[in-house]
Amino acid sequence: MDFFHSQESLTSVQWILRAVVAFFFLLLVAKLMGRHSIAQLRMLDFIMALLLGNIIAHPLSDEHLGMKGSMITISVLVILYTVGVFLTLKWHKLRNWLDPAPFALINNGKIIYKNLSKSKISLDFLLSQLRKEKITDIQKVALALWEPDGNISVFLDPKYQPVTRSDMQLHPLPFSFPHAVVKDGKIDHSELKKIGKDPNWLETKLKKDQCVAVNEVLLATIDQNEQLKVLLYK
């Protein structure tokens, strides 16, 4: 464990061991903080990301610094983060300060320019986000909200929304989610189990319907009607 403490110099193996310990320690920290902290960088998450990266980087680049201090500091920060998240759930004012309510950037086809300044984004950025939603005409937008995590939620005016089966009073189709039973030429046994099938059944179906073997398949999905869709390696 000499690599864990400060040294005059470290061997290549000791540097590697420090990197391995830091990696798995941060992996554990990320797991404790929760997936939402990675998917959505709220203010509290952003601060933690900056602090954690900065603290753990020093002992990974300076042999005169031990890892114990950095790991204790990170552990304390994770505790403070957890307390902060708990308080935001219980304390309405703190939640509103850390995660303010969304506000409108577009309302009834009109851009609210003062809110662009409030969100610190440009008109070009707003237009690029609308293009990602396949929207080219701002006047078709009933409401566009700037969310606390930095995303923009866009809602079209009802008269420009796609017609649904419900609008046409047609009988709705049952929801069906295809299962990926083959990935990269290998059978996904857990997905097969969900539909009550075994590998022998899948291999037989592939040969019968597609005339291919499992190792030739890049991706194969199957729906509730046992319809198989296959993509082969090119």
Q: Which amino acid is at 136?
A: T
Domains, in order of start, for the chain: 2-95 (no CATH), 103-160 (3.30.240.20), 179-232 (3.30.240.20)
- pLDDT for position 145: 94
Q: 5 with 66: CB under 8 angstroms?
A: yes
pLDDT classification of 39: cutoffs 50, 70, 90:
very low
pLDDT classification of 4: cutoffs 50, 70, 90:
low
- Residue 16 and residue 57: Cα distance in Å, rounded? 14
**pLDDT 10s digits, 124-180:** 989 999 999 899 899 999 999 998 777 899 999 988 888 888 878 888 777 778 899
Residue of 118, 73, 114, 81 whose CA lies nearest to 98: 81
**pLDDT 10s digits, 42-78:** 666 666 776 777 777 777 666 676 767 777 777 877 7
- pLDDT for position 180: 92
pLDDT classification of 227: cutoffs 50, 70, 90:
confident
pLDDT score of 110 more than 90: yes
pLDDT classification of 36: cutoffs 50, 70, 90:
very low
Tell me which of 103 and 100 has the higher pLDDT: 103
